[in-house]
Amino acid sequence: MRWLLLYVRSRRAAASTGIALVSAAALGLLAAGSDAEITRVVLALFAVTVVVSVAATSLAGPDPSLERTAALDWRPRRAVHAVTVCVVAAGSVAALGMPADVVVRNAIGLTGLAALGVVVLGGGLAWCVPMVWTVVGVTAILAARTPPAPLLTWPVQPAHSGAATVAACVLGAVGLVAYALAGPSARSQ
C-alpha cells in the first residue's frame, strides 16, 4: 500500500479532490435553489466539469518522463486513476440530487476529454479541454435558434439523446485508452 500513498501524494490527489468536492457542492446548492430547469441542468454540467477539470491536474505527476522509464507498469494505475476521477465526478454531483443519467454521461465524456488533454497538453493544461468543450456547448445551446448537432453539444443534450450518449462514451473510451497507454505529455506541468 505504500506505493498507493506515494502515488496519491505525487499527484496531489487529496488537494484536488477537496477543491473539486467543495466546488461541486457550491454549484449543487445553486442548482437546487433554482426553479428553472435549464439553470439546474447547466449548473449540474458545470459541477461535473469543475470536478473533472480540477481532478485532471492530478492525472500527471511531477515528472512525466519518470513514468516512461520506471520499472512499474503505469498503464493499469493510470486507467484506475482516470476511472476513479469519473466515478468521483459522477457520484459527487449525483449525490447533490442532480439527474444521475445525465451526470454519469457527462462524467464519462468529460473525463475522457480530460485524459486526452493530459496526453496532448500535459497535466498543467488538461483542465482546459473539458472546460472549453462545456463552455462552447452551453453557449451553442443557449445562443442557437435551432438545436445544434448533438455530437458537438452532447453535455447539454437531454438524457434520452442517443447521439449524446454515444459521443460521451466514445470520448470516454478514447481518452481512457490514450491516457492509460501513452501517459501524460511532458509539455506542461
DSSP 150-177: TTTSGGGS-TT-HHHHHHHHHHHHHHHH
Which residue type occupies 1?
M
Distance from C-alpha of 162 to C-alpha of 129, rounded to nearest angstrom: 23
Name the burial class of residue 188, with classes exposed (0-12), middle (13-18) and buried (19+) by CB atoms within 10 angstroms of its CB.
middle
Instruction: Show pLDDT as tens, one digit a residue, over the chain (189 residues).
Output: 677 777 777 778 888 888 888 988 888 888 878 888 888 888 889 999 999 999 998 888 777 776 666 677 878 888 999 999 999 999 999 888 888 899 999 999 999 999 999 999 988 899 999 999 999 888 887 777 666 677 788 998 888 889 999 999 999 999 999 999 988 886 655
Cα dihedral sign for 42, 44, 50, 52?
negative
Name the burial class of residue 70, with classes exposed (0-12), middle (13-18) and buried (19+) by CB atoms within 10 angstroms of its CB.
exposed
Q: What is the pTM of this model?
A: 0.89
